[in-house]
Amino acid sequence: MGSIERREREREDKRRQILDAARELFVEEGYDAVTMRKVADKVEYTPTAIYLHFKDKEELVREVVTQDFLKLGQHFASIAEIDDPIEALSAMGASYLDFAQKYPNHYRLLFMTKLPQTTEQLPEHHGNPSLDAYALLCVLVHKAMERGLFREDLTDAEFVAQLLWSGMHGIAALRISCPEHDAWIQFRPAKALGAEMSRDLMAGLLRNPPGRPRARPSKSASKPKRRR
């Protein structure tokens, strides 16, 4: 039994090495340019050995994408416990940026790399809020709408979801591309940009936005207070 378990663990380790190598290659060179041989070379396997784990490149990319969506879903695990949907949406935005910063290659694979169509049809994920981040986002927006928290003219939950996603994706994507832009642009910390993004979008979306640092036009000497 011990020996079977050990062999099983070795198999899992190898599988993970292959997946990590494949992710890096897909992200760096693009899906089309990657061959099973390149992946094998990177983990120092023979091409034959790699086929014992994955029957072809398509199965490999599907597994990488599945694993990475799962990882993103786990990153959002605590969001579902927040009752207030606006608070949950802000927490989700911050968590999304944190994921992009911690796992830039996972992020690039999921949201910045052209992948074959087949990876978009993982039926076990689609619409399941614990595996499908977009579904979770839509559920939260829908909940906020049902509670009458957004402006009355906002009735399309997916429109609002895509707006919020775009705001965070823009920060994450520019931040990841930033080393290339270093010569020109000193990109500000993603976390601070994300907090301001959430705050400002909510100021426009909410029916009754909370107090602002400078709501009154008066020129009082009091220092403006930043909301969290």
Q: Which stretch binds a copy of itself (CB under 8 A): 15-23, 24-32, 47-55, 76-84?
A: 24-32
- Contact between 147 and a copy of itself by CB under 8 A: the answer reads no
Q: Which stretch binds a copy of itself (CB under 8 A): 4-12, 39-47, 99-107, 188-196?
A: 188-196
Phi, then psi, of 141 in degrees rounded to 5: -65, -40
- Contact between 228 and a copy of itself by CB under 8 A: the answer reads no
Six-digit token string for 169: 């994706």
Distance CA 100, CA 111 (A): 10
- Contact between 173 and a copy of itself by CB under 8 A: the answer reads yes
- Contact between 214 and a copy of itself by CB under 8 A: the answer reads yes
Q: Which stretch binds a copy of itself (CB under 8 A): 4-12, 29-37, 56-64, 66-74?
A: 29-37
Which of residues 10, 12, 13, 156 is near a copy of itself by CB under 8 A?
A: 156
Give 71's DSSP letter: H
- Contact between 129 and a copy of itself by CB under 8 A: the answer reads no
- Residue 150 pairs in a beta bridge with 206
Which of residues 105, 115, 142, 191 is near a copy of itself by CB under 8 A?
A: 115
Q: Can you say whether residue 127 is alpha, beta or left, with left for phi > 0 and alpha for psi between -120 and 50 degrees? A: left
CB atoms within 10 A of CB 43: 15
Q: How far is CA 106 from CA 66, 110, 123, 157, 195, in A?
A: 11, 6, 20, 27, 22
Q: For residue 68, count CB atoms less than 10 angstroms from its CB and return exposed for 0-12, middle for 13-18, buried for 19 or more.
A: buried
Distance CA 144, CA 167 (A): 18
38 versus 71: smaller Cβ distance to a copy of itself: 38
- Contact between 114 and a copy of itself by CB under 8 A: the answer reads yes
Minimum CB–partner distance for residue 213 and a copy of itself (Å): 5
47 versus 116: smaller Cβ distance to a copy of itself: 116
Which of residues 132, 136, 140, 144 is near a copy of itself by CB under 8 A?
A: 132
Q: Which stretch binds a copy of itself (CB under 8 A): 1-9, 42-50, 85-93, 177-185?
A: 177-185
Distance CA 24, CA 28 (A): 6
DSSP string, 120-171: G--TTTTT-TTT-HHHHHHHHHHHHHHTT-B-TT---HHHHHHHHHHHHHHH
Chain residues binding a copy of itself by CB under 8 A are 28-30, 32-33, 111-112, 114-115, 117, 120-121, 126, 132, 134, 151-153, 156, 158-159, 162-163, 165-171, 173-174, 177, 180-188, 192-193, 196-197, 199-205, 207-209, 212-214, 217, 224, 226
